[in-house]
Structure 1
Amino acid sequence: MTQPLFYKDLFSGQHSYTEKELGRKGLSLAQLVAQNIPVPPFFILPPELFRSIIASVFKDTSITSLESFREHVNTLVLSKETMQQIEAEYAKLSGFGKAWVAVRSSIVAPEHPTSSFSGLLASKLNLRGTREIELAIREIFLSLFADRSYDYLKRNSISYGDVSTAIIVQKMVQAEVSGIMYTYDPITNNGKHVSIEAVFGLGDVLTEGNINPDIYTVSKTTLEIIEKKIVPQEWMKVRKMGEKDTLEHLQKITISQMWQYSQKLDDSLVRELTALADKIEQATGTPQIIEWAMERGSLYVLQAKPMELDNTAAMPKIHDAARKISSLKDIDEFSELSNTTEISFSHEAPMVDSPKMPQETLLFTGTPASSGVAYGETILLPNASSMTPEMLTSLKETTTKKHILVTDEFTSELEPLFYLAGGVITNFGGANSDVGLVTRETKIPAIVGTRIATSYLQSGALIKMDGSSGAIYRVDFLPEEFPATTEKTVTLHKKKKLKKKINTAVSPILEPPAQVPILEALAGKQTIEKTPVQKKSVHDSPIKIFLTGSTVSEAVFLPSKHAAISSNATTFMIPVSNAAVSERAFIKKVKKESTATIYLLLSDSPSLDALLSAKRTLAAHSIRRSKRVPYIVNVGSMYGLLNSKNLIDLSIDGLLFDLPKLSRVYRPGTTSIDAELWKLLRETLRSVKKQKLSYIGLSLPKEFFTLPLRKEIRELLKEGITSLVFAEPVTSATEHDMQKIEEEIMGVQLEKV
């Protein structure tokens, strides 16, 4: 066998290691050590040990089946030379005495980089002495030939000849708190935040899905804690002393009631972990899933692995970049993006008759673990202890994509069913539990950590589950099919460098040709061939104008003054407060009776947490953010104005600066708008317009609906305003008035160019 590699010796020479020599996990640990990330000491047994042992087993002619092969592996004894090498490395790791260690696999499969092998191979914690290390190595080798692993390889067309494993022996961190961090949210596709899961005690309960963790959402740039979800924890897993009958020395202990509801990490440690996660992501160049632990106030990284992002995760970035093109500068910037990426667009045929959709009643929510929406009939699975082989066989034969599995927690025996079902709901677990990893790989929705699913749902219930929001609904029937999408889809693949020019090949990603290029053509920066001159209307303006209760094409509807819905309207803006029944009904009415874009106007809450809570409430009531239903935050307080950049990090589509409200809070008791407030607005607009939001609006009192436009408004229009909103009724407004204001706005825009 090749000599074991002690972690400090990995960088003693000029040799550059690869996955074939260290395995994926071992290579990741080596990279972390190179970046001075705090990692517990370890040594690696290279994959040659596995290959040599398996080769010796295959020489036995008595082996005629996979079962007899497993029996043979289970009786393996490592050679004297191998054990001496392990003893030498274990002594270096231990120093004086015998160290407690964890023994883990490090998969080697360079021919299959997209296959995760998550949760397939065994890991053993809190072992002591070389004899226990030897037993753990045998169990890890054996787990690669278990039914679960065999099924996975067969399902993914992977040969055993393409797979091996190294072994990592790492000093055990006796964690008071441990968990998992994501540097990129796989559910919302948000790369600006770090999501941290934390539990008391050892963290393997997270991957096993035994406990619901605390969840902290933190901004990478400001280290501001945007959201905390504190979940009670009744027990934790710790080391057990004096146990000799089992390989792992572990036990569950009950947590006192005083501590069950406490926050697992204080805010300073949350920020320290976020900075650590960002450093690892910067060093590796890819989004990461990071396992961490804290012992005696010190943080350690146990492992880091790249997140599996497919094209669907990249789509929103490309699509948003395309959607926000409004000037030649933006087109140049987008062309740079296109130098290495070809973007092709396709439209599905519009439906003539949409299928009838069922009535929905919200039941409860959980933690999103895999995105997507599924309708189905529930199958309530029994506990693992009562699941017989006959029951499992029967379930394999009857489970289809029209079924949603409901279970207390994940067990390896249930995994084959996940490939057959349409969705999974569990009582316990986090986003990075085995449930989340398997369902994201099989691309079915999953909701975990509900705590009550198996008590609330019985087999045969008809439900809808939304893996993006974590909401579960009762429905009155199952639809035959989902409504066909009419949105543009994006396909990404490498191509040759594109020239920077505008042509019909890219026009589908813009607004219709008569709208977007007007500004550039008037400025003499672009020639539009064979485009007839059209009479300007509300639709042609680069700046949208909204009027309260109006029947013109852009209108603001206040909840207390719902106006008739114009059939030819292109855009509505609807203020929403707490998703009251009347508001939900009206929004659904607008969606049903028109094809207009519907801006949902959210109040700027007293805190970022409150705004996130409002977004979840809307999603739970089936009012979800989409291309047709963007979320806009109404900035009407000094808190909102001063935190505008932080609001943008909450995955919103735009900001509406409410000038009347801001004026009242900036100078209470006055009716005029202070000059300092105009200045503050200009400075804020200059900072937020760099974020390239799809919408930046200014809400004005009705007396501002005059010509010529006030000087202050003209100045703000030059700072990136895309919309003027008159939230008070302008009773004298006509199409002629709108056109005159639009013409002046065009003049301001040309001044800017």
Structure 2
Amino acid sequence: MAREIKNVVWLDEVNSQSISMVGGKGASLGEMISAELPVPGGFAVTAHAFRRFITETGIADELFRVLEVNVDDDEQLKQAEARAKKLVLETDMPEEIKKDIISYYEELCRREGEEVFVAVRSSATAEDLPDASFAGQQETYLNIRGARQVLDAVKRCWASLYGARAIFYRAKQGFDHSKVDISVIVQKMVDAEKAGVMFTSHPTTGEPKVIIEGAWGLGESVVSGAVSPDMYVVDPFNEEIVSRTVSTKNIMIVRGEDGSTVEVEVPPDKRDAQVLTDDEILRLASLARLIEDHYGVPQDVEWGIEKGKIYILQSRPITTIKREEEVKLVLEGIGASPGIASGLVKVVHDVSELNKVHDGDIMVATMTTPDMVPAMKRAAGIITDEGGLTCHAAIVSRELGCPAVVGTKRATTVLEDGMLVSIDGEKGLVYLGRLEEEEKKETIPAPALSTYVPITATEVKVNLSMVEATERALATNPDGVGLLRIEHMILGLNQHPSLYIKEGKQEEYINELVRNIEVVAKAFYPRPVWVRTLDAPTDEFRSMKGGEGEPIEPNPMLGWRGIRRDLTDREHFMLELEAFRRLVEMGYTNIGIMLPLVQHVNELRAAKQLMREAGIDLEKVDVGIMVEVPAAALTIDQFIEEGIDFISFGTNDLTQYTLAVDRNNEHVSELYNEMHPAVLHLIEHVIQRCRRAGVQTSICGQAGSNPKMARKLVELGITSISANIDAVDAVRRAVMRAERQLMLDALREKQANSR
């Protein structure tokens, strides 16, 4: 049975993948909250709730019938607007939806400690029309207070979906009215003393300068053009205010005594006064850089300041990419590897078709496998039907620096060989046609990257799967490699490990392992390189030459992989251990051996005994385990007692095993949440136990690349965080801010206690 979609969701529950549920505005707010930007709290009445409203009340058929008019006839258009709005406004909302909205509003009030004023904003969406844009066509209601008033404002937002302008636009664009839904954002209203907009880069030239416009009162005066605002130009890299223009501001928009929004005269002493202090200007510029870094493109940002606190109210892209007329959005998926790429489609159904993919092509597959890596290296971009952020295509694409969109569900059926397409690997979008960057990118030099790398007490390491990505990984200047996956090395060989053994080519196999691991160990020496022993599932092995004997398992992710394979296929495991022994003998004492999918201390004990039999001096080599099975987390004391030097959280698996969510299944991707309280509880338990015992703790799952998770881990006292190559810098900054905040909090507490 399909999972029921909620009528109402908190904004911190949604992100860029939630556009069909909460529209672009809601998704953007949720994305900024997840990036820990100062966004006012609130919730979204989902598009699903609106669809329930028109279907359960039985008005849908009549509603869409009255919209069937000649939109070029002004009288017919006005009549359609009046009849449609009347139908929406005079139809009672289903009780369940009412109760949900009231419940969320009352909870918002409890969180704020008072009955709050809110802004109620429309956020139109069309799940089956991803290229539709409805900006500015629906209504916004400000300074709404009280549950009944919120319900009324939500209804009015719903009705605004059928304004004359919106009806006209959809008809001219050929959009089916019945496929367009609307979400409504209910957000705490910032009673700003000063507000405005800012551009994270110059909106005309693209120059890397932050442009801030500000005026007294609410930001509507700036957005609507009712006042000439002050303008400040900031060089964010040098934290320098380049110029300031102070205008005469005669009017401002404020909240009236009755809660309404009113226009009043600016007091004489403020008309020619500078709105923002220098400190506020620089704080806004700092936020601007964080926002642009998060989205990857320049942004147009609305902000407000209430009682000295800055709030970010909305962010939307400044147009930095122009789309040719023939460009059309054809697919949406999960943005798995950032960047934009254009090229000719080459659909690969199996490994026999890899030669179709040439340099600069866009490779399309149901799902990539390790034996497809040679073609992936030639591709300019990757698109898959299946998969999530931790699938093979996502991991390899990020290391290659190749844009990728996964989980589109139908790329192999919609796209055909020879089509010219463009992909946006940040937003998860696929276009038919070529996206061209504006000429400014060729004429405006990029700002020089800072060579300064902040030193943090919490080490920041890098994850690595492919030897070819060693140089890119090293360039991030990490504190070591927190995860080196050898299965990608093995699966990239020309045959199954068992075939090497069967043909008596064990020495050739060992040398391949030594050669590949040495590249990384040597590049990072003396920084630690934790190498994870083989952890490929059987379905990946089966596709290799000689892999025909691999068992067919109902769920390979829960099957014969990791340590359970090593301890039963011991002949192969001993070859791995021989490779480690030789590397240590060669002087690479920075290598650590990490055992995956461990669930019982007996497995660790048996593996260590085999290491001794292989001639590995455990006094010279650090040995650790992956904590990715809840059983290992709950019995961590037994592993500590047995003797381990480190643990590393594999949050990809830990999350899926704790929540019973297949991490590679796009149908349940919204349920996959590394920040789930149960996952965090297991992580906290292990860190606390290991800290007491002096065992190093780290994380190498996808969650380690999430700055929000990084901050939480720092607070818990983790020893190190290992992130994907493209996320090392962002995680390092998050760690630095978290450590500074902890020190500041401790200082404040000490000062408070000394009074």
The higher radius of gyration belongs to 1
TM superposition score category, shorter chain reference: 0.3 to 0.5
TM-score by length of 2: 0.39
TM-score by length of 1: 0.39
Higher helix share: 2
